[in-house]
Amino acid sequence: LASRTFHPEPTVIKVGDVSIGGDEFVVMAGPCAVESREQLLETAEMVKKCGAKILRGGAFKPRTSPYSFQGLGEEGLKILAEARERTGLPVVTEVTSTEAVNTVAEYADILQIGARNMQNFQLLKAVGRTGKPVLLKRGMSATIEEWLNAAEYIMNEGNFQVILCERGIRTFEPMTRNTLDLSAVPIIKNISHLPVIVDPSHGTGHWRWVTPMSRAALAAGADGLIIEVHPNPQEALSDGSQSLKPENFMLLCEELKKIAPIV
């Protein structure tokens, strides 16, 4: 179902008045996690002003350590919904369990499946049954074929609105958190009709590499980006080291606007 031989035309996914997979280069941005109402509303207004079209923010966080901040849960979803009301930006947020799918689907415009859950087949089938657009991240040790098979699980439930997201894979290189596999972009474009976006924040793990890898993602033919932005990265409850400060996010958007139609 994800293959171009089955469906030769590129799939364009409409979320509100944003189209993903068409001519536009779509920037999704926001904090790693929703930490408070103030933090999220401030970030949402700022990323909107810069040209972001979709707001990101995690309410259910899949943390490596059980002692790390786990997210605000449903309270976080309510804050995301308030930010959408105020800014008009559609919301993408992660769902980490089958039990939470219906609750998250009530609030979110796009359901995110995180790298750690890319092969959680029950979860894939459950988001497939919601009929909501799904942002499917590549697993950190998944091949492109395994990733497309994960998309197949969602589509097999009748939901064809799948956005693929390259977010880096595990390699032997310790200078970056992950190795951003940008070659996946043209390969996906060649074998699938699904839109593909790039997450240079998780892909590199350091804010300094986010802007150059964003340029590279655009040059490689990606349909958009998902970027972590925090009003005060040093105090972020998760992924502060890879989060852009507002001023650097603004510079990135200014640069992208000169080369692609993002506004």
Residues 191-250 touching Mn ion, rule: CB under 5 A, are: 239
**What's the rounded Cα separation, in Å, for the pair 56 and 137?**
14
Note whether 22 and 12 are within 8 A (CB): yes
Between 94 and 223, name the residue whose CB sits nearer to ligand PEP: 94
Query: Candidates 95-103, 109-117, 147-155, 212-220 — which segment interacts with ligand PEP by CB under 6 A?
Result: 109-117
Report the chain's C-alpha Rg in angstroms.
Answer: 17
Q: How far is the CB of 7 from Mn ion (least distance, A)?
A: 31
233 binds ligand PEP (CB under 6 A): no
Binding mask 110-149 for ligand PEP (x = CB under 6 A): ----xxx--------------------x------------
Place of tokens 């997201």: 165
Which residue's Cβ has the minimum distance to ligand PEP?
A: 114
Q: Which of 1, 2, 29, 32 binds Mn ion (CB under 5 A)?
A: 32
Distance CA 95, CA 106 (A): 12
51 is an interface residue for ligand PEP by CB under 6 A: no
Our finding on whether 109 is near Mn ion (CB under 5 A) is no
User: Which distant-in-sequence residues (6+ apart) come within 8 Å of 178 by Cβ?
Assistant: 140, 167, 168, 169, 170, 171, 202, 203, 204, 205
CA gap 128, 168 in Å, rounded: 24
Q: Does 58 bind ligand PEP (CB under 6 A)?
A: yes
Q: How many CB atoms lie within 10 A of CB 159?
A: 22
10 binds ligand PEP (CB under 6 A): no
Measured from the CB atom, the residue of 1 and 229 that comes closer to ligand PEP is: 229
Give CA–CA dist 73/200, Å, rounded: 25
Least distance CB 118 / ligand PEP (angstroms): 8
* Residue 120 or 159 with smaller CB distance to Mn ion: 120
Question: In the window 178-197, what residues touch ligand PEP (CB under 6 A)?
Answer: none
Beta-carbon contacts of residue 262 (< 8 Å; ≥ 6 apart): 24, 25, 26, 27, 51, 53, 253, 256
Binding site residues, Mn ion, CB under 5 A: 32, 239
Binding site residues, ligand PEP, CB under 6 A: 32, 58, 62, 114-116, 137, 167, 202
